[in-house]
Amino acid sequence: MTMSDTHKTLLRGAKVLGGEPRDVLIEGERVAAVGTGLDADGATVIDVAGQILLPGLVDLHTHLREPGREDSETVLTGTRAAAVGGFTAVHAMANTFPVADTAGVVEQVWRLGRESGYCDVQPVGAVTVGLEGKKLAELGAMRDSAAGVRVFSDDGKCVDDAVIMRRALEYVKAFDGVIAQHAQEPRLTEGAQMNEGIVSAELGLGGWPAVAEESIIARDVLLAAHVGSRVHICHLSTAGSVEIVRWAKSKGWNVTAEVTPHHLLLTDELVRSYDPVYKVNPPLRTEADVMALREALADGTIDCVATDHAPHPHEDKDCEWGAAAMGMVGLETALSVVQHTMVDTGLLDWTGVADRMSVRPSAIGRLTGHGRPIAAGEPANLTLLDSAYRGVVNPAGFASRSRNTPYEGLELPGSVTHTFLRGRPTVVDGKLAPTPQP
């Protein structure tokens, strides 16, 4: 038994899921006790009175870029950013170089995550070889690898061939896997630069119609129901998409969906600035879409928040709109945006936040050890938040290697003060712990 196995930490006065203050004793990798007036000999005592204690956050949709684009992000820098944002587990998307479409590549990403020590990394396997949409990748081999892949996605590209999509759904059904679809009908989005609507017409930019997303979602929920498999819809962005998912769920079909923090806050009106920081896939939509997404997250139609953390180097974003890469970073600001859009507006309480940012994404990804109750005997994967904090976003201080955030200079609420991964602090007083151990 090592020292880390026996170390004790006592969190004094934490508001568990926003409730009444409690003391929480962490012993080794697990929560040992939750109550009032707790004491423990030899424990490190941290006064966290008034702070919100949540189960460690889980992201279903992170781009860590390694292997291949380490100039944007590495597994180490990405997991450091995740820890700062309160995450204890992330799913790393497959659009790396080489693509994560073999057991070898997913095992490489998985091992790099273990070595980082800041956050569990669960690789997402590609659905098709090279993300080309023509031939199924080695789904079974990735499932049987050390990484134990359960989520598969060609994210960044849509699996637009209905037969390939059907075969993928049938294949993963055998081991309770899930296909996470990037819903984008390719022909309808040729040359698209932003949301199709009044703003795109006035700016003269190619429009990205809502139906390009909605038509794929409608097809795929029908396919998933037909074969009795699980489908997960990535980054929902339109009110119409919400209605399709709501209808599918009313049928009892096994459909889940996610929304990004930026689609809960930002609209296509921001594109009038021509600042490429707002260029993202799917594009920012209208105010009506934003309101529909918030309501759907609140009522559970949308299952979870996922960051779609998409780091890019300076040269890929600081250029003219048409040449700029799509995407924005989001791990370090996600919880603040959710507090701003969902909690401070009264749409969700902190129990709801724990459900949408930890419990449900863990269940969709079939993770064990994450998204668990904060109770004696449970794994000590925990996040502490000072919800009273207000601060201006300054990307210069990001742990991520990239800085392409749309929130620079914006005042947002909430600050993660501590993150614990299996009882070990990865963030202390808002700063990265220097030497987390795998």
Nearest partner of 356 among 294, 267, 277, judged by Cα: 294
User: 136's torsion region: left (phi>0), alpha (psi -120 to 50) or beta?
Assistant: beta
- For residue 1, what are the contacts with CB-CB under 8 A and spacing of at least 6? none
8 Å CB contact between 86 and 57: yes
Catalytic residue from among 308, 316, 355, 386: 308
* Rounded Cα–Cα distance for residues 353 and 343 (Å): 8
* Rounded Cα–Cα distance for residues 222 and 220 (Å): 5
* Rounded Cα–Cα distance for residues 393 and 412 (Å): 7
313, burial (CB in 10 Å: exposed 0-12, middle 13-18, buried 19+): middle
**Residue 47 falls in the annotated catalytic set:** no
Name the helix (H) or strand (E) containing 411. Answer: strand 411-421
Name the helix (H) or strand (E) containing 107. Answer: helix 103-116
What residues are labeled active site? 308
